[in-house]
């Protein structure tokens, strides 16, 4: 494989791995967000945990700072006091005797000519209680560097340079009583690791001889460090335990409160699903118990009201059905008499002939209204069923247009068909879909004011759609939903020109819903209206979208064009010499 191909393969593999990781992270984040939004108990516990951590961290930091300050200040004060006492002893030891002979005798007795030897013996000796002192001392004689003395593993280089510089400045200014202290990690000879040490420097001035001695005390802070480390560990452990304890308390409290709420939510869901006998158990007399009592009372009242409404609805449906059926018998008799009169209208005088024609038309409308009322009653009773067959929707559209051509000719309306070349197969009830299309076409002819009616058919993998577009008076804002209500009119004073019953669009919407489809309307005053029927190709499938836009394409293009023509101020560098964008 060529190197370039190997590089591309590695990059593609890396992109796939990163893409998979990002998808997993997004899924995990989505599950976490969903769990957070859905669980009140998780929100309460998490909030309590976060607030507890913040409070414990703030209090722990403050407490440790106070303990640290107290321990360090106490240790520093003790160290400065010990250093001051040692410098007094050193000053007394270095002061010359009044009797020169005695001094000479003492020097000969000790066998040393360096006065610091005796001083170091005094300073580094045992304490008053016999215990060995925990610090080391370094005495420097600037005039005679060879006479310097130190205890332990302390050497001249162990002194911090800035500390010695400050001490020497005090010596030059004759400020002998000012001690200088500093904390620093110092690595002593023979030790592998540096240790924190508090170094106190001071000047011992001998007035009789005029000499100055630099005295440095090295106080190890190992014990203080161990103490502060143990305190820090104890604060962390106690804080962590306190946070966990608060989280457990919050969990128990939230569980005690949320559990009844969760039970009420589940009972409400079952109540909404139609289980009207669902009730909550009442325990105690607290607020949650009163909530359960109120819920049970609400459920009982709701069940009673629903039962009453169901009985009333059943009575109404039965009344409509019975009236419709009972009217059919006298209507049939009247229809037969009207047909005889209508057939013999030419033998009547003009007034009687016109009356026979009017009676015939109104009887036809009355029969259509009875048929629609019976159909509506079947929908209300839930007795409507589908007779499904795989059908080419184009053929259904052509048959519906054929049934509407006579009415269209009377209103000087023409149909413009926009059908796809391939078959648009779908499992539908042929009779009901044809009725939907006839109602839409009749409505377009009635309100189209003689202009062309455009019928468009579209299809994709999951759905088929039919759009009926007229160019009439249109719909006002909010009327796109009201138009499907029973007996609704946009203009109550306007007469129906084709003798409709006012139930056609309501029945059409019920037919569409029975198929699992959509029947939607769009309209604008002066722009006409468009009704779109969307049906799934496979019966029972859920619709995710429609192959056709609800808004007519020319309206969308006009909106887009108007948006593109909105003036926009551009900088001069963004426009070329022709006045157009560079892009």
84 and 232 assigned to the same domain? yes
* Average confidence (pLDDT) over 8-34: 83
234 and 123 assigned to the same domain? yes
Which of 79-88, 185-194, 379-388, 547-556 has the least mean pLDDT?
A: 379-388
Query: For 503-574, where are the E strands, in sequence order?
Result: 518-524, 528-536
Half-sphere exposure of 491 (CA within 13 A, CB side): 11
59 and 200 assigned to the same domain? yes
Count of domains forming the chain? 3
Which of 126-135, 296-305, 411-420 has the least mean pLDDT?
A: 126-135
* Domain enclosing residue 187, as ranges: 18-95+114-275
Residue with tokens 């990002």: 22
- Give 355-381 as a DSSP string: HHHHHHHHHHHHHHHHHHHHHHHHHHH
Of 487, 453, 489, 488, the residue nearest 472 (C-alpha): 453
Q: Is 366 inside any structural domain? A: yes
* Average confidence (pLDDT) over 158-177: 79
> What is the CATH classification number for the domain harbouring 283?
1.10.287.130
Q: Is 571 inside any structural domain? A: no
367 and 398 assigned to the same domain? no
429 and 552 assigned to the same domain? yes
Q: Is 107 inside any structural domain? A: no
Q: Is 103 inside any structural domain? A: no
Token reading at 205: 């001035």
CB 171 within 8 A of CB 203: yes
To the nearest 10°, report the CA torsion of 335, 336, 337, 343. 100
Token reading at 555: 């309206």
423 and 508 assigned to the same domain? yes
Q: pLDDT digits over 469-504, tens only?
A: 998 888 888 787 888 877 776 555 555 555 555 677
Please indicate, yes or no, whether the overall pTM of this predicted structure exceeds 0.85.
Answer: no
Instruction: Round the average pLDDT of the chain to a whole number and report it.
Output: 79
253 and 341 assigned to the same domain? no
Q: Are strands 388-392 and 425-429 parallel, antiparallel or unpaired?
A: antiparallel
89 and 201 assigned to the same domain? yes
CB 149 within 8 A of CB 185: no
Q: Which of 327, 350, 384 is the last residue of a domain?
A: 384
Which of 59-73, 123-137, 206-220 has the least mean pLDDT?
A: 123-137
CA distances from residue 273 to 188, 262, 292, 302, 313 in whole angstroms, order as listed: 82, 17, 19, 13, 19
CB 551 within 8 A of CB 529: no
How far is it, in rounded angstroms, from Cα 327 to Cα 323?
Answer: 6
How far is it, in rounded angstroms, from Cα 125 to Cα 131?
Answer: 9
Q: pLDDT digits over 255-296, tens only?
A: 877 777 788 878 888 888 877 787 878 877 777 788 888 888
Q: Which of 246, 275, 304 is the last residue of a domain?
A: 275
Q: Which of 275, 300, 327 is the last residue of a domain?
A: 275
Residue 126 has pLDDT above 90, yes or no: no
Angle of helix 40-94 relative to helix 3-38, nearest 10 degrees?
100
412 and 472 assigned to the same domain? yes
Residue 506 has pLDDT above 90, yes or no: no
How far is it, in rounded angstroms, from Cα 583 to Cα 578?
Answer: 12
Longest dimension (CA), the chain: 176
Q: Is 518 inside any structural domain? A: yes
Which of 71-80, 140-149, 324-333 has the least mean pLDDT?
A: 140-149
Q: What is the 3-state secondary structure (H, E, C) of 445-501?
A: HHHCCCCCEEEEEEECCCEEEEEEEECCCCCCCCHHHHCCCCCCCCCCCCCCCCCCC
Q: Is 568 inside any structural domain? A: no
Q: pLDDT digits over 95-114, tens only?
A: 765 444 444 445 444 444 56
208 and 138 assigned to the same domain? yes
380 and 394 assigned to the same domain? no
289 and 335 assigned to the same domain? yes
Q: pLDDT digits over 349-391, tens only?
A: 888 888 888 888 788 777 777 777 777 766 666 667 788 889 9
Q: Is 30 inside any structural domain? A: yes
Of 516, 509, 517, 511, the residue nearest 547 (C-alpha): 517
Q: Is 246 inside any structural domain? A: yes
Q: pLDDT digits over 190-246, tens only?
A: 777 888 888 888 888 777 667 778 888 888 888 888 888 898 899 999 989 988 898
């Amino acid at each position: 494989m060529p190197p370039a191909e190997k590089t591309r393969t590695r990059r593609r593999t890396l992109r796939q791995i990163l893409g998979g990781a990002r998808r997993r992270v997004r899924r995990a984040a989505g599950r976490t967000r969903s769990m957070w939004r859905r669980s009140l108990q998780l929100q309460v516990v998490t909030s309590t945990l976060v607030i507890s951590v913040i409070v414990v961290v703030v209090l722990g930091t403050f407490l440790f700072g106070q303990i640290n300050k107290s321990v360090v200040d106490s240790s520093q004060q003790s160290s400065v006091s010990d250093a001051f006492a040692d410098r007094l002893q050193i000053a007394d030891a270095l002061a010359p005797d009044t009797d020169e002979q005695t001094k000479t005798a003492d020097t000969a007795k000790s066998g040393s000519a360096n006065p610091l030897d005796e001083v170091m013996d005094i300073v580094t000796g045992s304490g008053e209680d016999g215990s060995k002192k925990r610090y080391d001392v370094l005495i420097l004689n600037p005039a005679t560097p060879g006479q310097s003395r130190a205890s332990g593993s302390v050497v001249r280089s162990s002194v911090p340079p800035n500390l010695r510089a400050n001490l020497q400045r005090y010596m030059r200014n004759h400020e002998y009583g000012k001690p200088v202290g500093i904390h620093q990690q110092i690595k002593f000879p023979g030790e592998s690791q540096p240790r924190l040490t508090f170094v106190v420097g001071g000047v011992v001035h001998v007035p009789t001889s005029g000499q100055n001695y630099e005295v440095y005390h090295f106080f190890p802070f190992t014990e203080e460090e161990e103490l502060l480390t143990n305190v820090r560990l104890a604060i962390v452990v106690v804080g962590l335990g306190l946070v966990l304890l608060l989280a457990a308390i919050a969990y128990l409290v939230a569980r005690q409160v949320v559990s009844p709420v969760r039970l009420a939510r589940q009972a409400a869901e079952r109540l909404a699903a139609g289980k009207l006998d669902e009730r909550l158990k009442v325990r105690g007399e607290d607020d949650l118990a009163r909530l359960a009592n109120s819920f049970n009372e609400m459920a009982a009242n709701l069940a009673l009201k629903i039962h009453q409404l169901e009985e009333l609805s059943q009575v109404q449906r039965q009344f409509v059905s019975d009236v419709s059926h009972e009217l059919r018998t006298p209507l049939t008799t009247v229809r037969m008499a009207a047909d005889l009169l209508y057939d013999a209208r030419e033998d009547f005088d003009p007034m009687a002939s016109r009356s026979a024609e009017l009676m015939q038309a109104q009887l036809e409308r009355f029969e259509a209204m009875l048929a629609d009322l019976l159909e509506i009653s079947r929908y209300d009773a839930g007795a409507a069923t589908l007779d499904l067959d795989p059908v080419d929707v184009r053929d259904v559209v052509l048959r519906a247009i054929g049934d509407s051509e006579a009415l269209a000719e009377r209103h000087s309306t023409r149909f413009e068909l926009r059908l796809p070349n391939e078959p648009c197969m779908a499992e539908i009830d042929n009779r009901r879909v044809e009725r939907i299309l006839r109602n839409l076409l009749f409505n377009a002819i009635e309100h189209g004011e003689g202009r062309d009616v455009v019928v468009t058919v579209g299809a994709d993998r999951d759905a088929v759609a039919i759009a009926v577009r007229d160019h009439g008076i249109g719909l006002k804002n909010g009327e796109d939903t009201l138009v499907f209500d029973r007996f609704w009119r946009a203009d109550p004073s306007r007469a129906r020109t084709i003798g409709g019953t006012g139930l056609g669009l309501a029945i059409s919407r019920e037919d569409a819903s029975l198929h699992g489809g959509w029947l939607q309307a769009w309209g604008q005053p002066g722009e006409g209206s468009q009704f779109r029927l969307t049906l799934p190709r496979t019966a029972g499938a859920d619709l995710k979208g429609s192959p056709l836009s609800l808004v007519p394409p020319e309206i969308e293009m006009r909106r887009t064009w108007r948006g593109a023509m909105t003036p926009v101020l551009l900088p001069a560098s963004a426009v070329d010499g022709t006045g157009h964008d560079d892009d």
